[in-house]
A and B are shown apart, each in its own frame.
Chain A
Amino acid sequence: MSAVDLTQFHKTFFEESREGLDAMEAALLALDSGATDHELVHTIFRAAHSIKGGAATFGFADVAAFTHVAESLLEEVRSERRAVDSGLIEVLLRSVDCMRAMLERSSQGQPVADAESEALRVELVQLVSGEVAAPAVAAASMVAPVSGWNIAFTALPHLLQTGNDPLRLFRELQQLGRLEVVRAFVTDSAPAQLAELDPSQCHLGWELRLHGAVARADIDAVFDWLDGDCELTIAPLAEVAVVGAAAPATSGSPPAATGTPRPVRETAAATGAGTSGEGSSIRVGIDKVDALINMMGELVITQSMLSDIGEKFELSQLGRLRDGLVQLERTTRELQESVMRIRMLPIGSVFNRFPRLVHDLERKLDKRVKLELHGEHTELDKTVLEKIGDPLVHLVRNAIDHGLESPAQRKAAGKSETGTLKLNAYHEGGNIVVQISDDGAGLNHAAIVAKAQQRGLIAAGQELSDAEVAELIFQPGFSTAAQATDLSGRGVGMDVVRRNVRDLGGSVGVRSVSGKGSTFTITLPLTLAIIDGLVTAVGSERYIVPLTSIVESLRLRADAVRRIAGGGEVFHFRDEYLPIMRLHRAFACNDAVTDIEHGIVVVIEEDGRRVGLLVDDLLGQQQAVVKSLEAHYRRVQGISGATILSDGSVALIVDVGGVVRLGQRSKAA
């Protein structure tokens, strides 16, 4: 029969369980901060419930056992038999952690329960009042040493409306033993007039006799679903004395209906280890998939159109061929963009872990923190996203541990006792900016200098500017781990944060105002992607302009350019005057074309705003693998990155957003 391989559902189970735990955690934290929404409790309960069901189904017994106890506790909360207090939330948060760890171990095929999980399980059991109900297994072991049963079964009128069918019951009973219908009768509930008979109502009763050494539990199982839908009495045919070891026949041959199902689950558990080589997956919004499908559709149409032309080609069709190729190119590019967009995920998934972290740190460090999250929907590349978590965690720990003062200190300084920690993410130019700011004490200038001297990073008496002092904390060897609490230290210094961010092609810096707080700013590339670029020449340099930002390239006659007071130049383009940005001037290039008539103006656009970029010449289109200038150098205004041309030389990529803003800003001024 169907030997269903359950391991194929393990990955989905782990994924949804992780999400469930995240939701549980978020809801617990919301409850903790005073929310009383009943739906929160439901969310928590539902998550635990699903995990329990899945874990049991897919053979993760330890997880199921643990979750079962947690669920029992939650059930008490849900049914309002237990009040929510911070102690309970703590225990449940720890349970979330524990389940997370257990699932992690399960997914790696490791032993699941450990001393810690066991201790917590026991703690939960003790919390659950009135002890968990005795296992229902006992009933099943009840064996009837009888030769048969009398069954009196009278349907209640609504029985059919529950989707149950007496005939089905009889069939099932027949499978247990020989079924004899002693009597069938119409009940008193039947209407006197046949015309009043409602076919959806049942007015029948039966007296049945089931012959054979059938276990009472098996008969109960047949009528299990009919509780409340019928009147039922079941009595042994003849009283048989229970003598010693009873009924080998019964236990030896289980009824056919139950079958012999077990082996599947064991297989699942055994092969569980094999599936742990978790191929990383990505969950994609259906809209993104739809966009892809749409584009595929267009691609197919274009393709059939082209092959149509190809089949009976005449020179007169050259125009159509060109159109088709242009369309093909456009669709291909859109497809490429859509595919890249699949890799883009909102930073919220990383931000989400901070409420919990902050909650734990508040307790541990005796501080009061209000966490504000902004820009959770800002999307960035999956790879970048995965790697930015740790540096962010470090910065958040650091801000709470070192940045924010204790409530007493804050009060003394005339501030609110609760400190504010703000995480903000937004796009800027070709970058994602993530800021972590606190309204704490700011960097302690003197302490940092002293530490740096002690570590031999600077000489005694050396004068440093604020910026230089701030920079010290990023130096290798500055790590404050030795003296810090175990939290922010963990042996990792800011230099590691900086290195991690740099590995992603980003940069990190800090601004701090004494007494007012600090802001750490991480700048990251949007994606590690490939762009389509137009290679332009300016003097002896090559600049790449991203194709997607180009509206049009044109040659201007000298009289099309207006010079405006102050030296700025504009030209008329589709009903508006656009500023001309002379790239050679902006980027200080020598030997470039300065006469507009001899150069080319590339109209670029970002956010609906346009600027004409004057370059010497257009050299062609090229796909450019975006490399960061910041990896080894630093961010440069007006430049979003670099790429390597086919001859091995480096060309810089124009940061369209930055350039357009600059042009427009001056226009508005």
Chain B
Amino acid sequence: MYEDPMYEDKRATAPPLQQLTFSLADEEYGVDILAVREIRSWSRVTRIPQTPDYVLGVLNLRGAIVPIMDLRLRFGLQRESYGDDTVVIIVAIAERLFGIVVDAVSDVVDIDPAAIKPVPDMGAVVDTRYLKGLATYAERMVMLLDVEKLMRPEDVETLDAALPAIQEVEVAA
């Protein structure tokens, strides 16, 4: 069970948490609105070598080179295609920017911190490591995303340490 003490603190003063909700494979997720920098439609990215497949590449965001991650791929789902209606949410964590590709953006909702439930073990369906908790809003379940964990670069590094290193040219002298 995952208890985030930071939420406990907030519960005491309990201002509602504003979450930007979005859909992904018929599930609803929320991301802290304070972390969201902008929402933009899909544009071509530049691929990066030595990178897990869910990091699609980087794009130019007003001069900053920002990585873009597909949440579907991150959660082990398939993505059919990227087009004009594909949405990218740009979030910032500790001044680091990255984009997450989602199916569609829904709404901005107020979530009562007291109503946030810990994430139960949901088996293999969703990677619960990247969730902060569950909330119910208008009788729908919203999974609150832990963006910080999602894009901790070292996390990515540990993950792709398993990837093959840059392909070496094999030459006998």
Contact = CB atoms under 8 A, between A and B. Distances in A.
Contacts of B85: none
B49 A636 contact: yes
Interface size class of B (residues with CB under 8 A): 35 or more
A502 B96 CA distance: 9
Interface in A474-491: 476
B46 A649 contact: yes
Nearest to B158: A467
A471 interface: yes
Contacts of A580: 169
Contact of B169 (A569, A587, A636): A569
A650 B171 CA distance: 32
B168 A665 contact: yes
A476 B9 CA distance: 16
A541 interface: yes
A412 B109 CA distance: 59
A585 interface: yes
The residue among B8, B59, B153 with the most chain A CB atoms within 10 A of its own CB is B153
Contacts of B79: none
A632 B66 contact: yes
Contact of B67 (A465, A567, A632, A668): A632
B75 to A, nearest CB: 20
B96 to A, nearest CB: 5
Contacts of B124: none
Contacts of A638: 49-50, 166
A10 B78 CA distance: 68
B65 A666 contact: no
Contact of B157 (A587, A634, A639): A634
Interface string A576-591: 0001111001111100
Contact of A631 (B8, B48, B96, B173): B96
A566 interface: yes
Interface string A607-639: 000000000000000000001110111101111
A648 B172 contact: no
The residue among B1, B97, B173 with the most chain A CB atoms within 10 A of its own CB is B173
A586 B44 CA distance: 21
B165 A650 contact: no
B49 A631 contact: no
Nearest to A663: B169
B58 A644 contact: no
Contacts of B165: 637
Nearest to A650: B46
B46 A667 contact: no
B3 A459 contact: yes
Interface in B137-167: 152-154, 156-158, 165-167
A565 interface: yes
Contacts of B122: none
B172 A579 contact: no
A456 B4 contact: yes
A568 B172 contact: yes
A564 B171 contact: yes
Interface string B44-68: 1111111100010111100111110
A632 B97 contact: yes
A541 B50 contact: no
A495 B95 CA distance: 12
Interface string A429-459: 0000000000000000000000000011001
Nearest to A562: B171
Contact of B48 (A465, A499, A585, A629): A629
B49 A632 contact: no
A666 B67 CA distance: 31
B6 interface: yes
A220 B154 CA distance: 80
A568 B153 CA distance: 33
A393 B2 CA distance: 37
A627 B170 contact: no
A456 B5 contact: yes
B166 A629 contact: no
Contacts of A465: 158
Interface string A547-585: 000000000000000001111111000000001111001
The residue among A460, A634, A667 with the most chain B CB atoms within 10 A of its own CB is A634
Contacts of B167: 585-586, 588
A644 B63 contact: yes
B12 interface: no
Nearest to A667: B171
26 contacts: A456-B6, A459-B2, A468-B158, A495-B94, A499-B94, A502-B96, A542-B46, A564-B172, A566-B171, A568-B170, A568-B172, A587-B47, A629-B58, A632-B96, A633-B55, A634-B156, A636-B49, A637-B166, A638-B49, A642-B46, A649-B59, A649-B60, A666-B169, A667-B173, A668-B173, A669-B173
Q: Closest 5 CB pairs between A and B?
A: A456-B5, A568-B171, A587-B49, A566-B170, A568-B170
Given A459-B1, A568-B172, A637-B50, 7 more contacts: A509-B154, A565-B172, A586-B166, A631-B65, A636-B48, A637-B166, A639-B49
Interface of A: 455-456, 459-460, 465, 467-468, 471, 476, 495, 499, 502, 509, 541-542, 564-570, 579-582, 585-589, 627-629, 631-634, 636-639, 642, 644, 648-652, 662-663, 665-669
